Structure 1
Amino acid sequence: MIRCIAIDDEPLALDVLEDFISKVPFLKLFKTCQSAVEAIEVLHQENIQLIFLDIQMPQISGVQFLKSLDQRPKVIFTTAYSDYALEGFNLDAVDYLLKPFTFERFLKAVNKAYQQINMQLVPGEQPAAAVKDYMFVKSGYDIIKVQYDHIRYIEGLKDYVKIHTDEKIVVSLMSMKTLADDLPAHFIRVHRSFIVNFARITLVQKRKIFIQKVEIPIGEVYRDAFLEKLKQER
């Protein structure tokens, strides 16, 4: 469980963050703060691992606040202004969310934070399980945990993807590119509509592959990269 706070001088922005955070199983929101000064007391009292931080705020900006901390939790900047993106990343921010952002984009940012935080050991705590074994996917109103090794292949359908696993099919509103960027190296895109778990391939023919009885075409654009990976795995 990642302990987090949200800092923003706009109550509506805090409402959005509180709603999004409540939908993610591995996040625990300790407090919402309308100023960086208010947040200092929380940081002194609690072991906060992640801050959702607005940049343009009265009294002290989010960037100034972050620079003032001797020990910095992981930070995801949330702002309506893109001008500060470079400075944010120079401060080792996990991600930079430009308002208004979608839940899909929010989920991608917090998954990155989850990976980074779980690579560190917090004094007195046991190391978390390896993050790369699974991902969280939004399906309708649910957030579903999907084990990478259980995925056979992924099918793209316009704005949706269908993740075919050993147990079920998970349908999620996201693009193939967004999903492909977050998958481990043993997944490879073989067609504009298909990503496969390379370890689950059972047969390769000239222009198609099989995962058990499922036939999947190899697109011309993706053929060379697939053959190169096949060569490396022999």
Structure 2
Amino acid sequence: MVRCMIIDDEKAAIDVLVNYVSKIEHLELIATATNPITGIDLINRHKPDLVFLDIQMEEMSGIDILKIVGNHTRVIFCTAYSDFALDAFDYEAVDYLMKPIAFPRFMKAVQRAMGIIMAGKVAVVDTIPNDYIFVKTEQRGKLVKINYDEIDFIEGQKNYVAFHKGKEKILTLLNLKDIEDRLPKNIFVRVHRSFIVPFKNIVSIENNILKLRNRVEQVPIGDIYKDQLVSRTRDSTMK
């Protein structure tokens, strides 16, 4: 079975490909995304064998996505523009499909991809978990890579989320729930509706206040998160 994903900023284009994938027995669709940044996160998390990837998207191009995620997966580009064909094949795309995509042409591209994957020619997938997150900053279109071990704490601030790392504060347009869903649960813990912290940075808990390593700020503990935090602290102590 070949595990695949679809990334395209047009829902109608995704619907066409979802229908096509459903007709091919050896394809398993594991995720779709209309947002390129969400797509990057899904690729890093699920490590699909094959991605059907649009090139011309608002926030970033499919080629930009491929540069970020590397060669851990095979890509079939799906686009309405022919201008990027040479660039696509420079990045070892399996195929380049022009919209509107006819099913026979789609099938041919999938057969080519399956041949490469099944023959073992696809790059070996790295099984080491990611130790970073890419976030979109308040500067339109700019992505910043933040290593998990650099994060002191994460704070929700009205329309922004702030990553505090040393003396630096990085603002991103995502909300705190989006960030929480993308972070590994074994490293980070939500302690308040406005705060996420790396568990290893917690120095002490007193009167519903967290003290963090190398920070003067005191982080509050929300009532709905307290039981989970105490339970996790107890489990850590018993190990």
**How far off its partner does 1:156 sit?**
0.7
Q: How does 1:167-206 map to 2 (within 5 A)?
A: 167-184=167-184, 185-206=186-207
- Once residues 188 and 20 of structure 1 are traced to their aligned partners in structure 2, the CA distance between those partners, rounded to angstroms, is 33
Select which of 93, 102, 105 maps to 1:48.
Answer: 93
Which position in structure 2 is the counterpart of 1:154? Answer: 154
**How far off its partner does 1:228 sit?**
0.6
- Unaligned ranges ≥5, structure 2: 1-6, 17-53, 81-85
TM-score, length basis structure 2: 0.55
Q: Quick one: which amino acid aligns to residue 208 of structure 1? A: I
- Once residues 123 and 151 of structure 2 are traced to their aligned partners in structure 1, the CA distance between those partners, rounded to angstroms, is 31
Which position in structure 2 is the counterpart of 1:20? Answer: 61
Is the partner of 2:178 in helix, strand or coil? Answer: helix
Q: How does 1:79-228 map to 2 (within 5 A)?
A: 122=123, 130-139=128-137, 140=139, 141-184=141-184, 185-211=186-212, 212-228=215-231
Is the partner of 1:15 in helix, strand or coil? Answer: coil
Percent of pairs with identical residues = 23
Q: Quick one: which amino acid aligns to residue 122 of structure 1? A: A
Which position in structure 2 is the counterpart of 1:60? Answer: 104
Cα 1:231/1:121, change in 2 over 3 Å: farther
Q: What is the aligned residue count?
A: 171
Cα 1:168/1:21, change in 2 over 3 Å: farther
- Once residues 150 and 22 of structure 1 are traced to their aligned partners in structure 2, the CA distance between those partners, rounded to angstroms, is 28
Is the partner of 1:233 in helix, strand or coil? Answer: helix
- Once residues 90 and 159 of structure 2 are traced to their aligned partners in structure 1, the CA distance between those partners, rounded to angstroms, is 44
Q: Residues 104-156 of structure 1: CA distance to partner in whole angstroms, max 9, x if unpaired?
A: xxxxxxxxxxxxxxxx9827xxx869452111111124211111011011001
- Unaligned ranges ≥5, structure 1: 1-5, 36-40, 74-119
- Once residues 18 and 206 of structure 1 are traced to their aligned partners in structure 2, the CA distance between those partners, rounded to angstroms, is 44
CA root-mean-square deviation: 4.4
Which position in structure 2 is the counterpart of 1:71? Answer: 115
Is the partner of 2:136 in helix, strand or coil? Answer: strand
Asked if 1 retains the 8 angstrom alpha-carbon contact of 2:76 and 2:109, the reply is no
TM-score, length basis structure 1: 0.56
Is the partner of 2:130 in helix, strand or coil? Answer: helix
Which position in structure 1 is the counterpart of 2:35? Answer: none
Q: Quick one: which amino acid aligns to residue 135 of structure 1? A: I
Q: Quick one: which amino acid aligns to residue 195 of structure 1? A: I
- Once residues 186 and 138 of structure 1 are traced to their aligned partners in structure 2, the CA distance between those partners, rounded to angstroms, is 21
Cα 1:198/1:52, change in 2 over 3 Å: farther
Q: Residues 63-88 of structure 1: CA distance to partner in whole angstroms, max 9, x if unpaired?
A: 78536642366xxxxxxxxxxxxxxx
**How far off its partner does 1:225 sit?**
0.4
- Once residues 53 and 155 of structure 1 are traced to their aligned partners in structure 2, the CA distance between those partners, rounded to angstroms, is 42
